[in-house]
Structure 1
Amino acid sequence: MHLALIDASLGTPHAQRNFKREVDASLSVYNANEGEMPPPIGKPPSVQTGGETSRSFDGAIISGSQSSVYDSQRAWIQELSQWVEGAISDGLPILGVCWGHQLLAQILGGTVRGGNYELGYVKVQQEADDPIWNGLSDPFTVFATHSDHVVKMPPDAHLLASNETGVQALRYEQVYGVQFHPEYDLKTAEAMIHSKDLSERKIQGALDTCTDANVNAAGTATRIFENFLDHVAASEAPSSTLNA
């Protein structure tokens, strides 16, 4: 299975390291903030290899980012949004994580705004049965780091998970978004906490959630990637090909 990993982070090494460790698929990485975009999704004939049809991409994952999806000053966000809009229209399975989740929500007609920081290991409640939750408890523990929130759901999307801060997961047809980071390990979690320009009290409060129990519990959230790959395998994903 071959996925496009769209790295929207602004030069941090964590995203690619974590996704490559946790996602059991071939990944082609695109550094979106540097202007690297996957080829457009379309209907032209797939590449023939040894008499068999091969797809360039079976699905895509969009990472987190330190930027905001509504930042109109970053041209790459507009370019990526156009690519994602076309990919959704053509039926490509997509998983958006944190910033990627917010980008999907915005493209689908939802609203994203800044708010209070959610930082550290938190509990999330499932709001609907869905195969993406296979193997996860309810509620389940995950790591979160974000100040932007989906404050209005896209009109035709389904709420899959929430907590006291709001929307934590959604689905629209073949597309999933999760606000939290199932790919994070403890090293990344602590690095991200220390990188925030927040009060010492807020930083320490987040560090206090980094207990062995929370870290071990959050490890089961990596099942989301296995479940997404099952979803991709069950989908008839279109080919990704350069425009002729």
Structure 2
Amino acid sequence: MQRPRLALLDASHGADHTRRNFRRELDADLAEFDVTVGDLPPNFDYDGVVVTGSRASVYWDESWIDDLLTWIERAVDRGLPVLGVCYGHQALAAALGGRVEAMDDVEIGYREIDVVDADPLLAGIDSPFVAFETHSDRVADLPPGGTVLAENDRGIQAFRRGDCWGVQFHPEYDRSSAETVTRGKDLPEARIEAVVDGIDADAYAAACRTKRLFDNFLEHVRLRAVETAADA
């Protein structure tokens, strides 16, 4: 098939690095939407969907969040493959009936994560792996039918339900993004500097192995599109 066409649902409130990172990592044609201002795809004519990170929480009482969760639920009902990253991971879980809660502290920096269930999304990624984290909410309860794929001592780090996956970590981040986001946090200066000191070449090289999951997701998207066309 031709390059997959994906809807990129950007929940980052205009963060400069977000679209740049996903454009670099996704070998697909992207239709980009700023969901924080109510800009959602008018239809479901895509091969797949990617939902980005955000500074928002899925349980905030804001209309754009309700609209986003409804759109995700409808996309899933139509059989579209979905990949949610960080906030997108939480939004996907909430849209499908899971529960998201606030954590007692932010998880930030390069962290070690264990694969607990083999899945094509994580094929080629050894366990444990390293990835950059920055979040203060977590998926506390999976949606019905969901399976935990990866976790660490702070909770669920990846899950799957059908053709949908969520990852709590940021495989798309480069070092610049990691440092910019870290320095923007309302945290003690000593903690910020400790995290920034850990954003080094070795840690980034280790975390780059998680970028494999984008290719794995796109391979599933292509196979799903072929199957859908054959059934039409």
Same fold at TM > 0.5: yes
Aligned to 1:108: 96
Hey, what's the Cα distance between the residues in 1 that align with 2:16 and 2:171? 16
Hey, what's the Cα distance between the residues in 1 that align with 2:43 and 2:116? 34
Aligned to 1:27: 30
1:182-203 per-position Cα deviation (integer Å, ceiling 9, x unaligned): 0000000000000000112321
1:139-189 per-position Cα deviation (integer Å, ceiling 9, x unaligned): 111111000111112221000000010000000000000000000000000
Partner letter of residue 77 of structure 1? I
The answer to whether structure 1 residue 75 and structure 2 residue 78 are counterparts is no
Aligned to 2:46: 57
Hey, what's the Cα distance between the residues in 2 that align with 1:20 and 1:112? 28
Aligned to 1:48: none
Aligned to 2:82: 94
The answer to whether structure 1 residue 85 and structure 2 residue 73 are counterparts is yes
Partner letter of residue 17 of structure 1? R
The CA deviation at 1:82 is 1.0
Q: Secondary structure at the match of 1:235?
A: helix
Hey, what's the Cα distance between the residues in 2 that align with 1:113 and 1:206? 24
Hey, which bits of structure 1, 4+ residues long, moved more than 6 A? none
CA RMSD of aligned residues (A): 1.3
Q: Do the aligned residues in 2 keep the contact of 1:121 with 1:143 (CA within 8 Å)? A: yes
Q: Do the aligned residues in 2 keep the contact of 1:15 with 1:63 (CA within 8 Å)? A: yes
Identity %: 43
Aligned to 1:45: none
**Higher Cα radius of gyration:** 1
1:61-102 per-position Cα deviation (integer Å, ceiling 9, x unaligned): 000000001101x21111111111100111100000000000
Q: Do the aligned residues in 2 keep the contact of 1:92 with 1:238 (CA within 8 Å)? A: no
The CA deviation at 1:136 is 1.0
Of the candidates 169, 173, 189, which is equivalent to residue 158 of structure 2? 169
Q: Do the aligned residues in 2 keep the contact of 1:40 with 1:87 (CA within 8 Å)? A: no
Of the candidates 216, 222, 228, which is equivalent to residue 205 of structure 2? 216
Q: Do the aligned residues in 2 keep the contact of 1:98 with 1:180 (CA within 8 Å)? A: yes
Runs of at least 5 residues in structure 1 that lack an aligned partner in the other structure: 42-55, 240-244
Bigger RCO of structures 1 and 2 (CA < 8 A, at least 6 apart): 1
Aligned to 2:117: 128
The CA deviation at 1:238 is 6.5
Q: Do the aligned residues in 2 keep the contact of 1:91 with 1:238 (CA within 8 Å)? A: no
Which stretch shows the higher mean deviation, 100-109 or 176-185?
A: 100-109
The CA deviation at 1:10 is 1.0
Query: How do residues 133-152 of structure 1 correspond to structure 2 at under 5 angstroms?
Result: 133-152=122-141
* Higher percent of residues as helix: 2
Hey, what's the Cα distance between the residues in 1 that align with 2:50 and 2:128? 24
The CA deviation at 1:127 is 0.9
Runs of at least 5 residues in structure 2 that lack an aligned partner in the other structure: none
Number of residue equivalences: 224
